[in-house]
Chain A
Amino acid sequence: MTFGTVIAIVGAAIAATLAGIGSAMGVRLGGQAAAGVVSENPDLFGKLLVLQALPGTQGIYGFLTAVIIIVRMGLLGGSAIALTTGQGWALFGAAMPIGIVGLFSAIYQGQTAASAIHMTAKQPDASAKGITMCALVETYAILALLVSILLIFGIQL
């Protein structure tokens, strides 16, 4: 295994890990808020579940990016490409947008989700508005995912 391959694997691992940590924290915030509301009004469980789940998407994006890097490197087929150090660093860099943006956007989305859950507790009909508010934070995670994917497919291996 070349040094370039090791660097690319580290990049894939960081993308999945950071985005996953962000999502776990975001979903936790939403979950705490939802638990508080549901303990007083169990009927709202269905509406709140969607809001709680929204910050979980960044973790999926990080996972997706890591899988694409692994597939491009040929690690799954057993015939890994011997990457140069330059190629390795390029893939590492390509993994960073979703790793870093995923981490922070998931936490901020979790905070927005918690506030939206509190809004839904007062006005149950406003849950769709809360979803829209959370989706706006999601935009930046999607943009980061796009950049990561374009970069990964743009690198000549």
Chain B
Amino acid sequence: MPQASYPYAVGRIKVLETRMLDKAKWNRLKEADEQEAFKILTESGYGSGAATGGNVALLIKAELEAARQVVLEVTPDEEITGLFLLRTDAHNLKTLLKARLLKTDAQTILAGSGSFSLETLQKCVSDADYSALPDSFASALTQMEQKLQKHTDPLMLSASVDRAVFEHVLAVLKKHRIKNGFIRNYFTAQIDFINVLSVVRARALQWKSEKLVQLLIPGGELLERDLLEAVELPAEQLPRKLGYGANGRAIASALEEYLQTGSTQGLERRMDSALMTLAKENKYDSFGMGPVVGYLLGREAEAKALRVLFAAKRANVPVALPELYA
């Protein structure tokens, strides 16, 4: 049941933060072999005692699920907190839609519940009826279904789901009159990075701006005009054209890295880093949503880092210290 008090919620979260992966624990896990690392994790309470049969993926999934449940239990504003879980819903929706189109079973690659239950999303996708979801979300997804009937494009499908997610986010922020502060800045930064990624992908696919415009998400700091013009520009002008706004420096550096390496991984990494920095800046707010949401994002980053660590152990390759929240 949601608690109506920020001090209470932050109090619980502060204790839970002490159980998160920190630099010392990371180094212990890094030096241990796979079995030993799994043991260290379970002995430290990671996975909330879930029966995983020695499967690290299940352990990570169980811990993430527990973190989401705690956050939803303590948050004074379930609707706003739910926005930060939409990334999971977007993953599940994309997976379910692709599975429906390919007529395959997606059960094994679905993430846990996000803002909406898995059962609800499964029913929505199988019936192509999104009326069980909030209006702003449902209308964008219904439009996507209409497009899908005419033409199936995996990139467009993925972009349409992202667009639906952010249309819902913006509608909720408008409803709560959130015009600035941590929550607004977080989603603005996310939208800017996703739009820059779309520009980079559109350039690689040699798309024209008429096609790119369908991928762009409104609500960011970067102007749509600049994003569309960036598709036609010489590559070396990209960092200057799009490197402005609150995250301008990070975007410009990521684009310079992209020009040198040709990989979008740098952009994705810098997006995660910028979002983590925003969360960390609000970590010590005793009377706001920052620590609650930060804990959730921190757990998600931790899960990602652990997946990479265990994969690196299996492949016997070195792994660098990730950016941790704790």
Give residues in A with beta carbon < 8 Å to B.
29-30, 32-41, 111, 114-115, 117-118, 121-122
Q: List 28 A-B contacts (CB under 8 A).
A: A32-B11, A33-B7, A33-B8, A33-B286, A35-B8, A35-B11, A36-B5, A36-B7, A36-B12, A36-B13, A37-B11, A37-B12, A38-B11, A39-B11, A40-B11, A40-B15, A41-B15, A111-B287, A114-B7, A114-B10, A115-B286, A118-B10, A118-B14, A118-B284, A118-B291, A121-B11, A121-B14, A121-B18
Interfacial chain B residues near A36, Cβ < 8 Å = 3, 5, 7-15, 74
Of the four ranges (under 10, 10 to 19, 20 to 34, 35 or more), the interface on chain B belongs to 10 to 19
Give residues in B with beta carbon < 8 Å to A.
3, 5, 7-18, 74, 284, 286-287, 291
Q: How far is the CA of A36 from the CA of B291 in the complex (A)?
A: 13
* Contact between chains at B7 and A29 (CB < 8 Å): yes
Interfacial chain B residues near A30, Cβ < 8 Å = 7
Question: For residue A123, which residue of chain B has the nearest CB?
Answer: B18
Contacts A36-B7, A36-B74 given: A118-B12 contact, CB under 8 Å? no
Interfacial chain A residues near B287, Cβ < 8 Å = 111, 114
CB distance from B30 to the nearest CB of A (A): 24
CB distance from B300 to the nearest CB of A (A): 20
* Contact between chains at B286 and A37 (CB < 8 Å): no
Q: How far is the CA of A114 from the CA of B287 in the complex (A)?
A: 9
* Contact between chains at B17 and A122 (CB < 8 Å): yes
Interfacial chain B residues near A35, Cβ < 8 Å = 8, 11
Q: How far is the CA of A29 from the CA of B12 in the complex (A)?
A: 14
CB distance from B290 to the nearest CB of A (A): 12
CB distance from A50 to the nearest CB of B (A): 16
Q: How far is the CA of A114 from the CA of B5 in the complex (A)?
A: 12
Q: How far is the CA of A150 from the CA of B302 in the complex (A)?
A: 59
Question: For residue B70, which residue of chain A has the nearest CB?
Answer: A40
* Contact between chains at B18 and A118 (CB < 8 Å): no
Question: For residue A122, which residue of chain B has the nearest CB?
Answer: B14
Question: For residue B17, which residue of chain A has the nearest CB?
Answer: A122
* Contact between chains at A32 and B7 (CB < 8 Å): yes
* Contact between chains at B12 and A32 (CB < 8 Å): no
CB distance from B22 to the nearest CB of A (A): 11
* Contact between chains at A37 and B5 (CB < 8 Å): no
Question: For residue A29, which residue of chain B has the nearest CB?
Answer: B7
Interfacial chain B residues near A41, Cβ < 8 Å = 15
Interfacial chain B residues near A32, Cβ < 8 Å = 5, 7-8, 11
Interfacial chain B residues near A37, Cβ < 8 Å = 11-12, 14-15
CB distance from B24 to the nearest CB of A (A): 15
Q: How far is the CA of A34 from the CA of B11 in the complex (A)?
A: 7
* Contact between chains at A33 and B11 (CB < 8 Å): yes
Interfacial chain A residues near B5, Cβ < 8 Å = 32, 36
CB distance from A18 to the nearest CB of B (A): 23
Q: How far is the CA of A32 from the CA of B230 in the complex (A)?
A: 51
